[in-house]
Amino acid sequence: MPTTAAGPCDLVEGPDGALWGEDILVNIIFRIDPKTGVVQEYPIPFTTPVSNVTIPGVSQSIQDRTAFSCAIRTGNDGKLYASNGLRNQLVQINPSTKKIKILQPPVNPAGDLQPFNDITPAKDGMYFTQTTGNVFTFYDFATGGFTNYKIPTPLALPLGLKVASNGNLYIALLLANKILEFNPNTKAIVEYDLPLPGQLPTVVRAEKNGFIYFAMFTGDGIGRINLITKKIELFTSSQLGGLGAENTIDSRGGVWLSYFTVDVLARLDTSTLKYTYVPYTPAAALLNGVLGDIPPFVDVAVNYGPGDAIWFTSIGTNQVGRYKLS
């Protein structure tokens, strides 16, 4: 990344075919041309709603490193949407003009008091989580309005979320160790317990053959929920001490998993339900992809595309990487 200690965190393929991302250590949106590798940076404007009071005597350059934003997705309106981290706002990016607009939901000081939440597109808007506020929120494209929905389980810490092919929304409840299902038509909410305690589901970004797949933080692997029976299955990887971060799915039905603590990409074949591993670095390769290198590089994002490739981030090395599948 051009900016020192930017900390590239989340990635998505944009409507323009480029790779877009958001930094967590400085409040910047970046764009990577997949053909040339040229990186362009777009600072997120600093705003001060009631929930984000400017700290007296602290320069903006420092305050721009206090948002800790790490979520970016493409909307069905042709724009990109990102989290504004602890400021608990939605950031809208026009990929053509590069103009950034800050969207302010109803003020909730308890909204996102930890660095990670998530965003997902719906047909007519965007859903996003307010983790410590224990709600998920819908932003309506047509009206520009926001609607909050409470999580039934207290202190559930809703994190990753995805709208499935059946039209329902699925949310990973990190601390509650559950997957939540929301029907946007009836507004019904149902929570499903993971079959083992302490798995801590994180990000939900993959669907295949009637299953929604999610990453697990302490569960060291990938889980899935059957969209019809609601049965949840867990698949543990071989990465000892691996703390799962994000997941994505490739064109061949493989669900990929990134880790906070090991420099290895894991791939779960949705047909065989077996893992294969790809080391990020030569140091990880020397250990045959079992433990990765030490110290951890804090590899968060994993995204399929642009192209037939897996893109990933490394906060520790301030880099974005690409693993070509063909």
Strand partners of residue 163: 169
Question: Which stretches does DSSP call E strand in 46-89?
Answer: 72-74, 80-83
pLDDT band at 50 (very low <50, low <70, confident <90, very high): low
How much is the pLDDT for 120?
Answer: 98
Percent of the chain with pLDDT over 90: 81
Average pLDDT of span 144-151: 98
Burial readout 257-275 (b: 16 or more C-beta within 10 A, e: otherwise): bbbbbbbbbbbbebeeeeb
Residue 282: burial class (beta carbons within 10 Å; 0-12, 13-18, 19+): exposed
The span from the CA of 34 to the CA of 30, in Å, is 13
67 has pLDDT over 70: yes
Mean pLDDT of the chain: 91
Q: What is the pTM of this model?
A: 0.93
Burial readout 195-204 (b: 16 or more C-beta within 10 A, e: otherwise): eeeebbbbbb
144 has pLDDT over 70: yes
How much is the pLDDT for 49?
Answer: 62
Task: Round the CA-based radius of gyration of the chain to a whole number and report it.
Answer: 18
pLDDT band at 169 (very low <50, low <70, confident <90, very high): very high
